[in-house]
Amino acid sequence: MAEKSVPERGAAGPLVGLVFVSHSADIAAGLVTLARQMAPTVTLVAAGGTDDGGIGTSFDKIAAGLAEADAGRGVVLLCDLGSAILTAETALDFLDDEARQRARLADAPLVEGGVAAAVAAEIGGDLAAVVAAAESAGGGSAEPEPVEAPAGGVAQPVSRTVILRNRDGLHARPAADFVKLASGFDAEVTVNGKDAHSLLGIMSLGLTRGMSVEISGPDERSRAAVDALADLIETGFGEE
């Protein structure tokens, strides 16, 4: 059976689940542990290694993982090597039509894509959004769309600059908290030029304690988000 980590279900209902397929049981299980730090309520399933515990992949583990991770909103699979993809595709082919429509194989790196997908699922993203988050791990963030100026005036950017106080910098857990908060606002916001909704983009900044962090938005519609995110950084994310 696939190794499973299943959280309690909250009032908001089920989330998109994830299955991590690796040739190594230890790698798949370790990724579940890592992603759990940022996605505590997502169903994460480790489908690593062969049935007898060796190096390789198992059709039965992947098939069981698909069934266990799908609570109704779908499941996304991420794989490490080419033969893992072939085994995963075979498992998908054996699903019934309804279940197959709710399952996607992401073309993404296992670790980076898995972490990004877990955060997207945690904040309630649908199947397409979780796949897109995973696959964004292979490239840079998109350029922000131009903001239309209000009638009779020019859009005025808003920004705040704060100092990062966390001893260990903006590492994975606080970065995930930051992205979750940003996703609660329907507003375009950047962090030192990176999209505030992109976990990997923010982590790529390498922000450490004492560094300046500029939270910016294109106009007044972003002010509430800018202030909330700047306030979160100033609190130290509860890690001080």
* Alpha-helix residue ranges (DSSP H) falling in the chain: 25-36, 59-69, 82-93, 97-101, 110-122, 127-135, 172-182, 199-203, 223-234
**Other beta carbons less than 10 A from residue 137's beta carbon:** 22
Burial-class residue 95 by CB neighbours within 10 Å (0-12, 13-18, 19+).
middle
Distance CA 91, CA 85 (A): 10
* Alpha-helix residue ranges (DSSP H) falling in 11-109: 25-36, 59-69, 82-93, 97-101
In the set 19, 23, 88, 120, the catalytic residue is: 23
Dihedral angle, C-alpha 233, 14, 62, 67, nearest 10 °: 170
Residue at token pair 């990724």: 31
Q: Is 23 labeled as catalytic in the residue annotation? A: yes
- Which tokens belong to 150? 């209000």
The residues assigned a catalytic role are 23
